[in-house]
Chains A and B, each alone.
Chain A
Amino acid sequence: MRNISSVLGRFAKSISVSLVLLFAVTMSSNAQDAKEGAALFKANCTACHKVDRKMTGPALAGMSERHSEEWLVKWIKNSGALIASGDPVANQIFEEWNKVAMPAFTQFSDDQIKGIIAYVKEEEAKAAAKSAGGDGAGSGAAASSDANTLMIIGVAAILLLAIGVIVILSRVIRTLEKVIANNAAAIEAAKARNEAHEESGKVKFAQKFLKNKKLVGFTALMVVALLAVLGWQTMWNVGVHTGYKPVQPIKFSHQVHAGVNQIDCQYCHGGAYKSKNASIPSANVCMNCHNTVTAADHYDGETSPEIMKLYRAVDWNPDTREYGNNPRPIEWVRIHNLPDFAYFNHSQHVSVAGLECQTCHGPIESMEEVYQYSPLTMKWCVDCHRTTEVNADNKYYDQLIEAHEKLKKGEKMTAAMIGGLECGKCHY
Chain B
Amino acid sequence: MKENMLVMNKKNFLGAVCMAVAFAAVTTACGDGTTRSTGWEFSRNMYDPLAYNPDQPNNNFKNKQTAQTPPAGTIPQGFEKFADEYSNTPEDYQKAGAELTNPLEVNEENLTQGQHLYLVNCAVCHGAEGKGDGSITKDRSITDSRGTRQLENFPNPPAYGRSSGANSSRGGLMADLSAGKIYHTIYYGLNTMGSHASQLNPEERWKVVMYVQELQKK
Q: Could you list which residues of chain A lie within 8 angstroms of chain B, going by C-beta atoms?
A: 46-48, 55-56, 80, 99-105, 217-218, 221-222, 224-226, 228-230, 233-234, 237-247, 253, 255-256, 259-264, 266-267, 270, 277, 279-280, 282, 284-285, 287-289, 291-298, 329, 331-332, 334, 337-341, 368, 371
Contacts and interface: CB of A to CB of B under 8 A. Distances in A.
Contacts of B189: 288
B27 A297 contact: no
Contact of A267 (B21, B23, B120, B141): B120
Given A229-B25, A239-B42, A260-B140, A244 B191 contact: no
12 contacts: A47-B157, A230-B24, A238-B41, A243-B34, A244-B37, A260-B142, A261-B151, A262-B135, A267-B121, A279-B54, A292-B155, A332-B55
Given A102-B169, A103-B171, 16 more contacts: A48-B155, A48-B192, A56-B191, A100-B90, A101-B90, A221-B16, A240-B39, A241-B38, A244-B37, A245-B36, A246-B36, A255-B142, A288-B196, A294-B152, A295-B152, A296-B152
A284 B154 contact: no
B39 to A, nearest CB: 6
B79 interface: no
Interface in B45-88: 46-50, 54-55, 57, 63, 65
B112 interface: no
A256 B40 contact: no
Interface in B122-149: 123-124, 135-136, 140-142, 144-145, 149
B185 interface: no
Interface residues of B, number: 66
Contacts of A284: 194-195, 198
B119 A264 contact: yes
Given A233-B28, A340-B50, A282 B198 contact: yes
B106 interface: no
B103 interface: no
B7 interface: no
Given A241-B39, A282-B198, A256 B23 contact: no
B169 A48 contact: yes
Most B Cβ at <10 Å: residue of A80, A102, A228, A263: A263
A225 B142 contact: no
B168 A243 contact: no
Contacts of B98: none
B145 to A, nearest CB: 6
A56 B45 CA distance: 49
Q: Secondary structure of the A side of the interface? A: loop
A289 B189 CA distance: 12
A229 B199 contact: no
A293 B154 contact: yes
A241 B150 CA distance: 34
Contact of A270 (B54, B123, B199): B199
A262 B124 contact: yes
Contacts of B191: 47-48, 56, 100
Nearest to B31: A243
B150 to A, nearest CB: 7
A302 B136 CA distance: 21
A226 B29 CA distance: 11
B180 to A, nearest CB: 18
Interface string B77-118: 000000000000110000000000000000000000000000
6 A-B pairs closest in CB distance: A288-B194, A225-B20, A229-B24, A262-B135, A56-B191, A226-B24
A226 B20 CA distance: 8
Given A101-B170, A243-B34, A285 B144 contact: no
B24 A222 contact: yes
Nearest to A260: B142
Most B Cβ at <10 Å: residue of A48, A247, A264, A285: A264
B17 interface: yes
Interface string B171-207: 1000000000000000001011111101100000000
A342 to B, nearest CB: 10
Most A Cβ at <10 Å: residue of B20, B33, B42, B63: B20
B4 to A, nearest CB: 18
A297 B21 CA distance: 53
Nearest to A340: B49
B213 interface: no
Contacts of B157: 47
